[in-house]
């Protein structure tokens, strides 16, 4: 398709900057951008490239910029209305029904049908089953009520379709307008394509190689059915479609294979580049895909993997990671699979299992009936109650918090008072609707896509997975509200339309240079049936290869029986290290010597993830920076300073900013009161002292004549840990002060210093002070422990063994330690 597009563009004689090009997806836009840059041989002003949503309303991303009624608001309001029905009776039961009803009305909207104009009771007459008649009564009420609730605001589907059709008013602003690889299966897109086709400077590049007679093309499952309808609407036939020669391909054979012409073509050898591999189960299929990708990347080839469902995407991701392959995945992870989503749902699930409605009702009432505020307070006040542990400031958490906030606002607007089971149902709906996607890995040689995103994509090796009936192809949306005949009558699309589109995807992708078709004989313990796509190729005499699969399956199955190969798990014993060491590194040496070895001796650092959201470390750095210059500030001034720093990191609209701001309000008055009461002090001061022949360095948060202070935005060490010398940072800083190792003037007061932890932990902001006597004991314990460590490792040559610990900060080098092997 890219070659065909370039042929049309270069033949037009129009400057690229004066072109408007419509493409099927955002990924296709990125592909064309790269193609145009390469073909132009350098810097170029690109055309206007627009991605058109080609999938069903629930299959594409929407960027709706106008004032729309959100799908979440529609679901919440519908759930409230449905819960009043005697056959439903509660929100928990109503919610999935509401979600399906929104989906059905979106399909109608997509087809240009106004559900509020349909007489549902007349449509579903007495001849139909009672449950259909009852649903018709619900539809009659709901479709009359909802327009008033929308208050003139369009749905997201309506706004998207309006935006697509809106381009027709701008076609004359360009010298060349092209629609490439669109199937015209969505009415709004078809309307735009008709306007482009009628324009003298408009061009339509159809996918595949359009051919066939009308008896074939009118079948809902035929690959060119949507294109046939589009061309017919313009009064055009096959003879009006001009082929573009982009080289030899098996498309002619595939066109025969997907037709109902009884003739057996004699060019079945055209698909000999396709290799069928039939696996025993889905996990084996994923391993086969990883084996093919591994072989291809070793030959410096690019790989495109097509997975028709999210589960297949995740299996492929696991198998590729196991083989050490870095891949670019289009699919996201459900919010319910993230630590944040699981932790929140686990709390509510535990309450339900224990029948503990009282705790929910108490917390819900205390938050003023605001579900989001209730959860925020729970996290602020008792993070330990949530499991698994999560970082509330990472990218996944921010998406989940935003979804919960949106759902909570819609519940408030609908004036719904929640029960525990209602809250759990709403939270599950909101969190499961979040798809957490990683950043696009443009450098990866292996790309894993769904069928929609695969349009206009190819690679040296193409792997089509999941080729079973019900999966690839999968039938489209089948509503539970109406009999099939009535659904068709009012304009709902046939479930076979998705089969047609996937058939065209299968044909196009099978024209790649080296193609693998994979399927599993069983799915979830149930025997599967071969995809009709493969069956058609087989029935038409397609001479595809099956031998290559035998070798790949042999290798994959043999890998399960790999002979054990002993590894050297002995702890590292490097030459004696007498280099200067910082006090912050010593706790690593105490609690897990291996982490000290990697960090201090090998000097390996975990690089910051460019795409990762700000975390607790950056929160701590922010607070430390703000408190360095606290003088002459009020609490409000300090909060404003920290807010400004937070906005520069997070952005003013970040959900995480809400949490950080609440912490700032708690921190500022306590920190200022204590810091202002200190004797004259200095911040971030460097110092050094020699212990057992080795320099120990520190950079103290704040020191003064007679004392040292450490700011802890998390949990400080316990008195027991300090007394045993197991957390030596602050005691050694006190020892440096006592020894005159800091560059400040001191008196006798510093001979008997005191220590202070300024604890800024959420819900427990306070100073923790240790007297001169306590500090003296802790200094002695820390110096003794440090001397013992240096004698053991620096002088004694002890191995830097890996030690198990529950503290996550000592686990950052576990992948190097191979402690789980």
- Extended strands (E) in 403-558: 435-436, 446-449, 461-464, 515-520, 522-523, 526-527
The lowest-confidence range among 328-332, 586-590, 608-612, 775-779 is 608-612
* pTM recorded for the entire structure: 0.68
Q: DSSP of 436-476, one letter per residue? A: E-PPP-TT-SEEEE-TTTTTT---SEEEE---BTTTSS---
Q: What is the pLDDT of residue 734?
A: 96
The mean pLDDT value for 747-751 works out to 93
Give me the sign of the Cα torsion angle 370, 372, 375, 376.
negative
* pLDDT tens column, 558-578: 887 777 777 777 889 999 999
First vs last C-alpha separation in the chain = 47
Q: What is the pLDDT of residue 20?
A: 96
The overall average pLDDT reported for the chain is 89
* pLDDT tens column, 422-450: 999 999 999 998 888 776 677 789 999 98
Instruction: State yes or no: pLDDT of 63 exceeds 70.
Output: no
- Strands 274-279 and 202-205 turn out to be unpaired
Phi, psi of 392 (to 5 degrees): -70, -5
The mean pLDDT value for 160-166 works out to 91
* pLDDT tens column, 212-230: 888 899 999 999 999 999 9
* pLDDT tens column, 607-636: 765 555 677 788 888 999 899 888 788 999
Q: What is the pLDDT of residue 53?
A: 57
In this structure, the number of other CB atoms found within 10 A of the CB of residue 150 comes to 15
* pLDDT tens column, 299-342: 999 999 999 988 888 899 999 999 999 898 866 778 888 899 99
Q: What is the pLDDT of residue 453?
A: 86
The whole-angstrom separation of Cα 508 and Cα 496 is 19
Q: What is the pLDDT of residue 613?
A: 61
Find tokens 């400057």 and name the residue: 15
Residue pair 239/495 in contact by the 8 Å Cβ criterion: no
Instruction: State yes or no: pLDDT of 820 exceeds 80.
Output: no
């Amino acid at each position: 398709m890219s070659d065909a597009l370039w042929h049309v563009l270069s033949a037009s004689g129009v400057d690229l900057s004066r072109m408007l090009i419509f493409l099927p997806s955002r990924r296709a836009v990125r592909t064309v951008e790269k193609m145009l840059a390469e073909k132009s041989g350098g810097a170029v002003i690109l055309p206007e490239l627009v991605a058109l949503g080609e999938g069903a309303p629930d299959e594409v991303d929407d960027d709706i910029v106008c004032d729309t009624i959100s799908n979440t608001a529609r679901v919440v309001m519908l759930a409230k209305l449905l819960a009043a029905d005697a056959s439903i009776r509660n929100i928990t039961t109503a919610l999935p029904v509401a979600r399906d009803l929104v989906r059905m009305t979106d399909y109608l909207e997509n087809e240009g049908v106004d559900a509020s104009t349909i007489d549902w009771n007349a449509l579903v007459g007495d001849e139909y089953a009672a449950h259909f008649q009852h649903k018709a009564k619900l539809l009659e009420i709901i479709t009359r009520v909802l327009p008033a609730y929308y208050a003139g605001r369009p749905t997201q589907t309506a706004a998207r379709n309006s935006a697509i059709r809106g381009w027709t008013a701008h076609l004359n602003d360009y010298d060349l307008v092209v629609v490439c690889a669109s199937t015209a299966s969505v009415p709004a897109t078809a309307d735009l394509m008709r306007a482009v086709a009628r324009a003298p400077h408009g061009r339509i590049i159809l996918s595949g190689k359009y051919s066939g007679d009308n008896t074939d093309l009118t079948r809902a499952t035929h690959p060119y059915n949507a294109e046939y309808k589009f061309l017919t609407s313009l009064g055009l036939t096959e003879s009006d479609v001009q082929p573009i020669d982009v080289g030899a391909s098996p498309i002619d054979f595939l066109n025969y294979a997907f037709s109902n012409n009884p003739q057996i073509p004699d060019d079945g050898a055209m698909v000999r580049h396709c290799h069928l591999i039939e696996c025993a189960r889905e996990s084996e299929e994923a391993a086969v895909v990883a084996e093919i990708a591994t072989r291809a990347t070793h030959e410096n080839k690019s790989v495109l993997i097509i997975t028709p469902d999210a589960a297949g995407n995740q299996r492929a991701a696991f198998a590729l990671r196991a083989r050490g392959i870095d891949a670019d995945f289009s699919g996201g992870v459900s919010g319910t699979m993230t630590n944040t989503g699981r932790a929140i749902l686990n709390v509510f699930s535990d309450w339900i299992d224990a029948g503990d409605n009282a705790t929910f009702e108490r917390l819900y009432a205390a938050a003023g009936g605001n579900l989001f505020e209730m959860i925020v307070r729970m996290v602020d006040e008792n993070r330990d109650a949530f499991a698994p542990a999560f970082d509330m400031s990472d990218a996944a958490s921010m998406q989940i918090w935003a979804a919960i906030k949106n759902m909570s606002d819609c519940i408030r607007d609908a004036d719904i008072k929640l029960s525990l089971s209602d809250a759990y149902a709403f939270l599950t709906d909101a969190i499961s609707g979040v798809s957490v996607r990683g950043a696009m890995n443009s450098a990866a040689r292996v790309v894993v896509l769904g069928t929609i995103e695969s349009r206009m994509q190819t690679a040296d090796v193409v792997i089509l997975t999941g080729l079973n009936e019900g999966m690839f192809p999968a039938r489209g949306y089948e509503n539970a509200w109406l009999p099939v005949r009535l659904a068709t009558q009012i304009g709902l699309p046939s479930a076979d339309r998705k089969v047609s589109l996937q058939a065209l995807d299968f044909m196009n992708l099978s024209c790649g240079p080296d193609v693998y078709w994979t399927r599993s004989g069983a799915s979830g313990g149930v025997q599967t049936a071969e995809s009709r796509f493969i069956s058609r190729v087989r029935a038409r005499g397609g001479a595809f290869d099956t031998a290559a699969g035998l070798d790949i399956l042999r290798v994959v199955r043999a890998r399960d029986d790999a002979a054990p190969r002993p590894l050297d798990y002995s702890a590292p014993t490097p030459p004696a290290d007498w280099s200067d060491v910082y006090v912050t590194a010593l706790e690593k040496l105490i609690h897990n010597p291996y982490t000290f070895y990697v960090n201090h001796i090998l000097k390996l650092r975990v690089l910051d993830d460019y795409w990762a959201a700000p975390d607790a470390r950056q929160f701590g750095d922010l607070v430390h920076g703000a408190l360095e210059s606290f003088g002459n500030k009020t609490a409000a001034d300090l909060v404003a300073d920290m807010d400004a720093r937070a906005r520069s990191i997070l952005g003013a609209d970040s959900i995480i900013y809400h949490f950080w701001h609440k912490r700032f309000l708690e921190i500022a008055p306590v920190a200022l009161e204590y810091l202002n009461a200190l004797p004259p002090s200095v911040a971030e001061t460097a110092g050094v002292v020699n212990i057992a022949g080795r320099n120990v360095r520190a950079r103290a948060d704040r020191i003064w004549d007679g004392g040292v202070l450490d700011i802890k935005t998390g949990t400080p060490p316990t008195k027991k840990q300090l007394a045993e010398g197991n957390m030596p940072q602050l005691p050694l800083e006190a020892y440096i002060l006592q020894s005159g190792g800091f560059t400040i003037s001191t008196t006798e007061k510093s001979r008997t210093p005191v220590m202070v932890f300024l604890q800024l932990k959420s819900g427990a902001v306070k100073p923790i002070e240790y007297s001169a006597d306590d500090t003296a004991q802790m200094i002695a314990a820390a110096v003794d422990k440090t001397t013992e460590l240096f004698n053991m490792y620096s002088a004694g040559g002890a191995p830097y063994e890996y030690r198990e610990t529950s503290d996550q900060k000592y686990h950052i080098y576990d992948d190097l330690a191979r402690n789980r092997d």
